[in-house]
Chains A and B, each alone.
Chain A
Amino acid sequence: MNNLIKGETGDWEVVIGIEVHAQIVSNSKLFSSASTKFGGEHNTQVSFVDAGMPGMLPVINWVCVEQAIRTGLGLNAKINNYSIFDRKNYFYPDLPQGYQISQFKQPIVGEGSVTIDIDDKKSKTIRIERLHLEQDAGKSLHDQHPEFSFVDLNRSGVALMEIVSMPDISSADEAQSYIKKLRSIMRYLGTCDGNMEEGSLRADINVSVRKPGDELGTRCEIKNVNSIKFIGQAIDYEARRQIELIEDSKIIDQETRLFDPKKGETRSMRSKEEAHDYRYFPDPDLLPLSFSENIIEEIKSELPELPDDKKERFQKEYSLSPYDSNILVSEIEIADFFEAVTKGRDPKIAANWITGEFFAAMNKLGFNIVDSPITIDNLSKLIKLIEENIISKRIAKDVFEIMLENNEDPEEIVEREGLKQVSNSGELEKIIDNIIANNPDQVEAVKLKPKLIGWFVGQVMKETNGKANPKLVNDLLNDKLN
């Protein structure tokens, strides 16, 4: 696929690297025993450690370490069983310690990779440079008071994984696929809920442009983009902006920018009176983080089947297309739902129904797969009815509509409404003979134009209220008319 952007002076290539901040799923914080729960009363989930009180010491939460190892394994990455916590020094009101505990030179996870799909046939590997553990900061509210910002420290100290990609991403589409894939992997692993609205997944996007084959251009970092849609818009805007600057013979400043979703543009964060100087140094309050190879092996042995493997299995085990498999494995809940529905059923019919009718209805009604108004059992029964030719596909859609209302058993609906497909050839023959007898003109016409047989099929369907078995109708008509 061609990702080049046309400029006045020729084609341009976009080079993108992404840093993702993913909040770790854990009950308590990285270095304290306060709750990580989202949406609590402000400043009630804060310990003295999180508030940066003098003399308070951090003690690391082992579950957060396990989650980072788990995620690293899910990214096919090297796990470093010896890593160091450093202090990243800067002043900001929502950072009470005056430094963030992070990992700088020796992160817990080294190089790995994520595979994204470009289309049905092609995929691409995005290399991961590293993953490290760090603390989240608190939250500042700027719209509560004309002169003051309000600070809530509930989030202060919550464990984050910063996942840094190599600059292997070449378009807004690829960037979106990368984030989706990363999110899907972490959800499978249960290490990050991926909820972008609640800020559990944030992306800093590094964008630069160059003529194909040239050296890397000057990059700008777009901070804290918090939706997949905005990531696409921010990249498109930023690439375009940089190309125009260069083509105007202007210089690109290496800087941090913000994406404004209302205007759909990025703008400079003017707060760079002094270049950042984080003065990283090993945190003297924390020992190096070390664990045995056994622990890594143990965690590895308990990993769930991940999307790429599941996709491959779905294609083999159920003979599904890459396209359908992709959709079905995108979320673990969907994959599980599909496997439950298709048990003992034709997987192709099940896949078609779930990705087609079922998803469309869920979207329309604003339901999620986990709170679907139709139970697995009933959807499975509906597929059985289709599979066994008891109802036609068309009738199945009507039955499905009724099921949506109150999750009624499809077998009961079919029984009550008399929707069973007419597969009795004697009965159908009678109807067909009638139609042939009453429409001599059409009978003549079909002899010249065999395609007109469709008209007869339509008549039979009309007579039977759509309940005639279409295949049987076709066979009978072909016998009688040819």
Chain B
Amino acid sequence: MTIDSKLVERIAKLSRISLTETEIKNLSSELDNILNWIEQLSELDTEGINPVFSSFDEEETKYRNDKVNDGGYREDIISNAPLSEDGFFLVPKVVD
């Protein structure tokens, strides 16, 4: 797989990141190099081996009890919002 500037632009758009022409050019080759480097892994024969999603042992999975003991701090939740009113987050109008 090669990463060209068109793909970088698309990824940037999906990620809501705006990039300059130079950045796009640089990122294309950087990402391409990273991807090629990682692609070496595909040389390994993984036939019949289950994918590993974590280095932790699944048996150790911790579950949460179904108890309510969080929430109730609205001021903290919205304190970082660029815009808020009456305890709501305010965002530019989005209507489908």
Residues of A with Cβ closer than 8 Å to B? Answer: 26-28, 31-35, 41-51, 59-65, 84, 89, 91-93, 140-142, 144-153, 258, 269-271, 274, 277, 279, 282, 284, 287-290
Mask for B56-79, Cβ within 8 A of A = 1, else 0?
101011111111111110101110
The contact sample of 21 A-B pairs, CB cut-off 8 A, is A26-B66, A33-B70, A41-B87, A44-B71, A47-B70, A48-B76, A61-B63, A61-B64, A61-B65, A61-B66, A93-B94, A140-B94, A145-B90, A147-B92, A149-B90, A149-B92, A151-B90, A151-B91, A152-B88, A284-B53, A287-B56
Once A59-B64, A274-B13 are accepted as A-B contacts, the answer to whether A141 and B54 lie under 8 Å apart by CB is: no
Q: Are B88 and A287 in contact (CB under 8 A)?
A: no
A59 nearest in chain B by CB position: B64
Residue among A28, A48, A279 with max Cβ neighbours from chain B (10 Å)? A28
A36 nearest in chain B by CB position: B68
Which chain B residues lie closer than 8 Å to A147 at the CB level? Answer: 92-93
Which chain B residues lie closer than 8 Å to A64 at the CB level? Answer: 66
Q: Are A34 and B70 in contact (CB under 8 A)?
A: yes
- The answer, among B53, B67, B74, B91, for a CB contact under 8 Å with A93, is B91
The answer for the CA separation of A62 and B62 in the assembled complex, in Å, is 9
Q: Are B95 and A151 in contact (CB under 8 A)?
A: no
Q: B26 to nearest A CB, angstroms?
A: 22
B69 nearest in chain A by CB position: A33
Once A46-B77, A142-B95, A287-B54 are accepted as A-B contacts, the answer to whether A28 and B64 lie under 8 Å apart by CB is: yes
Q: Are B64 and A44 in contact (CB under 8 A)?
A: no
B71 nearest in chain A by CB position: A34
Which chain B residues lie closer than 8 Å to A50 at the CB level? Answer: 71
The answer for the CA separation of A32 and B91 in the assembled complex, in Å, is 24
B78 nearest in chain A by CB position: A43
Once A89-B14, A150-B88, A274-B13 are accepted as A-B contacts, the answer to whether A62 and B67 lie under 8 Å apart by CB is: no
Q: Are B67 and A46 in contact (CB under 8 A)?
A: no
Which chain B residues lie closer than 8 Å to A277 at the CB level? Answer: 14
Q: Are A92 and B94 in contact (CB under 8 A)?
A: yes
Which chain A residues lie closer than 8 Å to B91 at the CB level? Answer: 93, 140, 148-149, 151
A63 nearest in chain B by CB position: B66
The answer for the CA separation of A315 and B74 in the assembled complex, in Å, is 54
Return the 9 tightest CB-CB contacts between A and B, nearest first. A34-B71, A63-B66, A62-B63, A33-B70, A150-B88, A151-B89, A47-B70, A93-B91, A148-B90
Which chain B residues lie closer than 8 Å to A33 at the CB level? Answer: 64, 67-71
B60 nearest in chain A by CB position: A287
Q: Are A47 and B63 in contact (CB under 8 A)?
A: no
Which chain B residues lie closer than 8 Å to A274 at the CB level? Answer: 13-14
B91 nearest in chain A by CB position: A93
